[in-house]
Structure 1
């Protein structure tokens, strides 16, 4: 007995003396569990601070099937299903496996969680967390993007600014018992989370709503495939609205095809058609090859290499001034002017206006379009490029071209972020857009006169005219390349312009893809421009200038 007791005594000395620290450390390691403390994600707001995307408190309800008596499971499933608005079968399935200790049930508001926990069911608990909410539903949906179940951005600005918005999660270390329950009064170590920063956009919520409404209604009315609208500040290059149709409902993004997650205004590439004629006009005037009153003899067709290209509309031979060429959107007249400029100089002018490069506006998924080298232009392409067929751009790039003309020939890099908050929640304004002189002020003023004539009685954009305001703009109707038919199928209808023409403040663009009830830009895109521009002018309290537009000679002899 003495020998046996001595063995026990030796073992006790080893456990409690020699190896006590090792076993104590192992026991502590089994008790200690780390928990992530999720940082609150920053908000995305419009230019006036209205929240477009925000984070709200939520509760994750969970169950511990191992401690819920079998006889109580049916009642628990029935009550939880009623409280949460879920099928009873779904809840019952989560309670079915008694070997599981933690099964998430639903993410709910604090009020709903309090109601459920107030029933004091054994094995039902909650955990604090955050939930992303989009008060506007589909307001600027494709621009904002959304977050996944893990709280990380998946697309749009939510992804582009994910690191800034997310902040840094904290950590909480607790001690638990054998069944996973927290031991009261035990030591807890906390690493405080760092909340995410807010991102303030240049978007104006009211103008965004008006733009979305106008473009979505017109897409529906014309049976079109898609549409986009952009509103831009002339002087700053800030984007006040960017709307797409169909737009993405951020409250139900999981039910939406991934094809509709993209911001088409920045990522869809198309041939611009006649809206591109302002670049040809700017190149011709800047080079000195023509003047606004230079007269061209214009037929309704022209031979280019192996192709005969037709004018925008049939007509007898007429003598148009260059201003008349732009105002009436003559393809033949534009080609004649481009031939005086030359391929290389026309290509260089397109480059200066931003074609072939991403606009750098800060949109997720921006595309650069396609501007082939002038040496590679085919025989007919040397003509069609002049009126916007044979090059590809985005709606954002096109709006930027007209911002440049409206701003006296100075391009301001478009921007969508007005600023972000710092660690003290103070707004730090974003750097202003880069300013680049593209054409002279004189050239910009002359092109503006032509664009104002295009909205006048003799132009193609009469449906864009706004009472009491001077408006400058251009229609565009281009054949649309469609990969599905492996060729040109359907049309792209566009109108883009600015107002007031003599003191420009706002640029508005509307583009409608593959309409089936009409297809001319002056018929189906110009009315969208008029609605959006009228609303934006009133919203920004921009008054008419009260001036009278100068008389523009369209035809020789007038």
Structure 2
């Protein structure tokens, strides 16, 4: 039978039913989808929505200051205000990205009047297609280092309804910047920082690195809501974790002493053109480092310097190992005197050289038999710097006892200074004292075949000046919070009575003869008791080869108030005279003169007024 709608044609009822079934299927799918999102995907979607509506802002703490012993800032953080402008705000069209000269002139005039700049310069900077370092098409530097008053004035204009349209695109950014008040005088000790995460700074050398944790503080953060344009809603802050500003570090360093040392080292660099030079000023009764300067150096506030200058300039040469030469002789003789192996009246004849294991040990002091054999007492061994007599004394001490004595003086161990980069000294071939041969023992006695740091030697001379008590060198006095409350103190610490007071006082007296009539006359300071030792050593490359010289002078100066101060000067490969008496002693004297004036130290009534037993010492160098 044929239906009214034709053979095979669907009836209206069938169409309605099909549409109903299709709608039911779609509705079921939609219900399933809604149920799926409302159950299984509810938490992930809620989390994502919350993430999109929320923002977290890191609060950067203020890095603590580094202060000298008198509270003078050596390193501090200041806020630097950068004013930038987005040239896209005055583009004529987005395709060409060409700024409008007319609108650029309007912006330039207004910014220049507020910031005290030249209007033409500002306009040209906005219109320029070239970019300085840090600039790009949508950021042009207008002024670095704007004052707080200029910032406030600019923000007033940016809010004003008459000028805010003109200044759209102007951005004021406050950036914390590390400032070093001492310039290049203290970088080897204070160090420098490099950028860290979240706008923080990380210490890369010196105190900045050693005390980075207390200096850095801890970051904070805030969590709040943003609108659809990701603009923070001011009243929506949900949580705040406050930042903790960094602590301050107070050093034992005296800024004026740093500058005295730096000035003297600069003269040495000019006169002797060495690879480098370092100076240390130490209080032997407390171990406090009052001054520590190295050259070459650089100003860490200068961000334009190449990496090679920075790497070389931040090396603290006071901690670098070197063969000291004759400045080791007082330590060797102290070990012998303290053990009762030599007497003050014993004589040590010197023919000018000594053969040991087929190798010749020369003596510059006695190559012309001066002073004559029979007058070479321990005092004159130190004053004239006799190598062969010191070798004989070292052999009498023996390898094990010599090694023990050097350890007792902390020359072969870490002395524990609060600075990165300290390396302990060692004997030739890293041997123990018991395994040393006669040749090594003799050479160690007069400062060869042994590597030590200038700081360790300065501390050893400090023990001699301090009646035999070795004090631990320290450069940090205390760590204080931002309110100046002491968080941690670093007290004075004695490392032990390394030699008897009698031995120390005897050697301190011997050292005055070096200055009055021996190799150190260029260090003599009128009106003050001065004692010290010169040193001139071939420079080792660590592989048994020698090239160039290291010149040293280490000693003490004493005024009328009885206080003594240790000064050490070490010059790396000097020219125009390479002996310690020529390259190092005059620099030592300049520092000593500056210290006595700075501290108003009265002259000593016991200071020698004329040379004593000069012999022909004017011809002697060491």
Q: Same fold (TM over 0.5)?
A: yes
CA contact (8 A) 1:145 1:261 kept: no
Residues 34, 67 of structure 1: CA spacing in aligned structure 2 closer, same or farther, 3 A cutoff? farther
SS at the partner of 1:448?
Answer: helix
Aligned to 2:237: 187
Aligned to 1:198: 248
Residue 195 of structure 2 is aligned to residue 149 of structure 1: yes
Give the distance between the partners of 1:95 and 1:383, measured in 2 at CA: 67
Aligned to 2:306: 255
Give the distance between the partners of 1:132 and 1:447, measured in 2 at CA: 46
Aligned to 1:216: 266
Aligned to 1:518: 577
Aligned to 1:384: 443
1:220 is displaced (CA, Å) by 2.1
SS at the partner of 1:404?
Answer: helix
CA contact (8 A) 2:246 2:482 kept: no
Give the distance between the partners of 2:88 and 2:536, measured in 1 at CA: 68
Aligned to 2:209: 159
Give the distance between the partners of 1:84 and 1:537, measured in 2 at CA: 56
CA contact (8 A) 2:522 2:589 kept: yes
Residues 321, 194 of structure 1: CA spacing in aligned structure 2 closer, same or farther, 3 A cutoff? same
Q: Deviations over 1:226-256 (max 9, x none)?
A: 0000000111010000011112311126524
SS at the partner of 1:522?
Answer: helix
Residue 328 of structure 2 is aligned to residue 276 of structure 1: yes
Q: Deviations over 1:405-427 (max 9, x none)?
A: 00000000000001110364213
Aligned to 1:322: 378
CA contact (8 A) 2:55 2:232 kept: no
Aligned to 1:266: 318
Residues 283, 246 of structure 1: CA spacing in aligned structure 2 closer, same or farther, 3 A cutoff? same
Equivalent position to 1:442, from 482, 487, 502: 502
1:123 is displaced (CA, Å) by 3.5
Unpaired stretches in structure 2, ≥5 consecutive residues? 1-19, 112-119, 159-163, 616-622
Aligned to 2:275: 225
Matches within 5 A, 1:299-310: 299-310=351-362
Q: Deviations over 1:449-491 (max 9, x none)?
A: 11011111x21101111111111111101111136x9721111
Aligned to 1:544: 603
1:127 is displaced (CA, Å) by 4.2
SS at the partner of 2:355?
Answer: strand
CA contact (8 A) 2:56 2:223 kept: yes
Q: Deviations over 1:375-432 (max 9, x none)?
A: 3434422211110011011110110111010000000000000111036421353222
1:369 is displaced (CA, Å) by 2.3
Give the distance between the partners of 1:501 and 1:384, measured in 2 at CA: 35
1:356 is displaced (CA, Å) by 1.5
Report how many aligned residue pairs link the two structures: 546
Residues 462, 31 of structure 1: CA spacing in aligned structure 2 closer, same or farther, 3 A cutoff? same
SS at the partner of 2:70?
Answer: coil
SS at the partner of 2:348?
Answer: strand
Deviates more, 1:197-206 or 1:212-221: 212-221
- TM value normalised by structure 2: 0.79
1:259 is displaced (CA, Å) by 3.5
1:155 is displaced (CA, Å) by 1.6
Q: Deviations over 1:287-330 (max 9, x none)?
A: 11112221111111111112111102322252211111111111
Q: Deviations over 1:243-284 (max 9, x none)?
A: 111123111265242531444333321100000001111011
CA contact (8 A) 1:406 1:498 kept: yes
Residues 460, 31 of structure 1: CA spacing in aligned structure 2 closer, same or farther, 3 A cutoff? same
Residues 554, 128 of structure 1: CA spacing in aligned structure 2 closer, same or farther, 3 A cutoff? closer
Equivalent position to 1:422, from 475, 478, 481: 481
Residue 140 of structure 2 is aligned to residue 90 of structure 1: no
Deviates more, 1:60-69 or 1:422-431: 60-69
Give the distance between the partners of 2:260 and 2:607, measured in 1 at CA: 29
CA contact (8 A) 1:478 1:491 kept: yes
Equivalent position to 1:178, from 205, 224, 228: 228
- TM value normalised by structure 1: 0.88
CA contact (8 A) 1:407 1:504 kept: no
